Structure 1
């Protein structure tokens, strides 16, 4: 029996209970087809014991920083009580040392093995204060993004992203974006099928469209304006076809210009980017679940040719289709056609 992947949730006074709970819920739900838990989730704090929340009840952290030292993944939720007062170097001492050790792999108990660290919402202030985000892209809640960028000028802030994966260091936006981040990590570790199963059991979407831009406060749109939901549903049933913008707009009875504007307002993406993302979702599932050739998957997903799919896959996922299949089919002990 393989030891479950250990996730340490590092909380501080003022923690948001929702952010703590969602990590336990999502990772705790991830299981193999025979019911084996894939993750062990442990709550820890710089000093174990009762921790204030931003609600009217405390939580108890049974573990200290020694748990962070032996974790495979460390997740830092927000503290509205502490985060925005942090400056570069504010996180210091043992806590800063432990956070840096997660990334550098200098932890004595793990020899040179590194882990990954992620933040939810303004938990990014902790990572940035410890110097872990210097020279990296990062995100945080859109309400804090400007302040965060001024406070940490060596961090490239993307205020629109729901989450950003920089390899060993990941950041996410508000509470709900923490769900997106956790599902992304589960998908990276064990593939789309298990991540989708976790999402289904938790009754959340396995992948949200767009970025934070769609949630930033704006004037309420006129109620008579139509939605683009009909065309999106229509397109999902026809991903193998060469869909055009005019066809999509026609499904919702709009001009191309109006449709493009409304689509971006609703999803945070252009129709072309949204369609490419959905085709990539379908391609990943087929790479994991079938032995189809790359050319066949490309045709079924609407990329046309294997060469076109390889180009889009590398740009959107970061690896080739063959490398992706080898990773996730390898987890399941499967084979698969060569890239």
Structure 2
């Protein structure tokens, strides 16, 4: 039997004069995403003055609500909070396929029409999509949900390769921790970089990651299938990224003709040889930038197989939307 813990968030807005942020609470509440919203917008920050955010919790259905992890959430405010909210946060959703209750749809549409901003974190994009707010708009979500959302809502342009998307009054964040980046982005726009940096320091996170930065999805070596035994060769390729790897050499090591090797490699990995090597070189370069702070960028470029720093910088900009130096500053530990 799972023990339950009762938490009672403050549903009434704090007594400041700033924008009112309303975070949705629902049965099956995603506690991590909700915690992000509260940490950024709900914690008292007297150093910010009286203009800082007010924070309220909006229960979309009668409580008590059962949250993820066996928590019981008691909320004393309902959808009426959305009538006055300046910013509405949808902290995940109970299931990517779960229907959005009609009263919530109506309340979100009314809030959006009067000018409120609405933000989704991770799977919360399903609520915005199900409410019709993202029709003919761009959005993002956790990469694992992109295919499902795209299939159900083909009129939404989904980008799986960004941390967050700011479409003015509609904002969407990618998976889980990317919600922190979007919330800091909002703080930066509302109160400036100094305020956003102060909040980031409290959270012990990088103060600024661009929304266009990729989600950095790691693709492991695929399992062998259809009798194709390329696993050992792929491991060798990964361990030898600093070396030239022409297709002729790889095909010879695999004991195949070049044409057969290219066809089977793509069937196994889903990528061409060149595309796979580029992704692996970017992955290796990122690992070195994060862990080997004393190694120069030129040496990392060579060790990753890019040859020159200029080439590595080009691919970082084109694929990740950032530079090697900026990546190291954000993630180097």
TM interval, short-chain normalised: 0.5 to 0.7
1:274 to 297, 302, 322: 322
Identify unmatched segments of 5+ residues in structure 2: 1-14, 222-234, 242-283
**Hey, what does 2:35 align to over in structure 1?**
21
Distance 1:30 1:57 in 2: 23
Q: Which residue of 2 aligns with 1:104?
A: 113
SS in structure 1 at match of 2:155: coil
Tell me how far apart the structure 2 counterparts of residues 55 and 72 of structure 1 sit (CA, whole Å). 30
Change (3 A) 1:232 1:259: farther
2:214 to 205, 211, 223: 211
Mapping for residues 115-134 of structure 1, pairs under 5 Å = 115-134=116-135
| Structure 1: distance between partners of 2:129 and 2:290 | 42
Which residue matches 2:97?
84
1:2 Cα deviation after fit: 6.5
Deviations 1:20-59 (A, max 9, x none): 1111111235747465461111111222421111211211
Q: Shift of residue 275 of structure 1?
A: 3.8
What is the aligned-residue RMSD (CA, Å)? 3.6
Equivalent pair of 1:228/1:259 in contact (CA under 8 Å): no
State how far apart, in whole Å, the 2-side matches of 1:203 and 1:154 are.
Answer: 38
Aligned to 1:166: 167
Distance in 1 separating the partners of 2:76 and 2:240: 50
Q: Do the aligned residues in 2 keep the contact of 1:231 with 1:249 (CA within 8 Å)?
A: no
Alignment of structure 1 residues 50-65 onto 2, 5 Å: 50-65=64-79
CA distance in 2, matches of 1:55, 1:124: 22
CA gap 1:205/1:176 in 2 versus in 1, 3 angstroms: same
* Number of the residue aligned with 1:229: 289
SS in 1 for 2:128: helix
Deviation at 1:257, TM superposition (A): 4.3
Do the aligned partners of 1:48 and 1:63 also contact (CA within 8 Å) in 2?
A: no
C-alpha spacing 1:59/1:272, structure 2 compared with 1 (3 Å)? closer
Contact 1:29 1:198 in 2 (8 A): no
Closer, same or farther: CA 37–149 of 1 in aligned 2, 3 Å? same
CA distance in 2, matches of 1:17, 1:274: 31
Alpha-carbon shift at residue 200 of structure 1 (Å):
0.4
- Give the drift of 1:134: 0.2
Task: Provide Cα deviations, 1:175-228, integer angstroms capped at 9, x if missing partner.
Answer: 10111111111011011110011000111111236222x134434964995644
The answer to whether residue 195 in structure 2 is matched with residue 175 in structure 1 is: no
The answer for the alignment partner of 1:244 in structure 2 is: none
Following superposition, the deviation at residue 72 of structure 1 comes to 0.5
1:309 match: none
Rg comparison, structure with higher value:
2
How far the C-alpha of 1:253 sits from its partner, in A, is 4.7
Distance (whole Å) between structure 1 residues aligned to residue 320 and residue 174 of structure 2: 24
Q: Distance in 1 between matches of 2:239 and 2:165?
A: 33
Q: How far apart, in 2, do the equivalents of 1:185 and 1:222 lie?
A: 41
Shift of 1:256: 3.6
Please report how far the alpha carbon of residue 271 of structure 1 lies from its aligned counterpart in structure 2 after TM superposition: 8.7
SS of structure 1 residue aligned to 2:177: helix
CA distance in 2 between counterparts of 1:151 and 1:198 reads 36
SS at match of 1:84: coil
Deviation of 1:269 after TM superposition, in Å, equals: 4.6
Is there any run of 5+ residues in structure 1 with no aligned partner, and where? 106-113, 235-246, 282-339
TM-score (norm 1): 0.64
The residue aligned with 2:244 is: none
Report SS of the residue matched to 2:182: helix
Aligned residue for 1:72? 86
Is the Cα contact below 8 Å between 1:228 and 1:252 reproduced in 2? no
* 8 A Cα contact 2:297 2:324, kept in partner: no
Q: Normalising by structure 2, report the TM-score.
A: 0.65
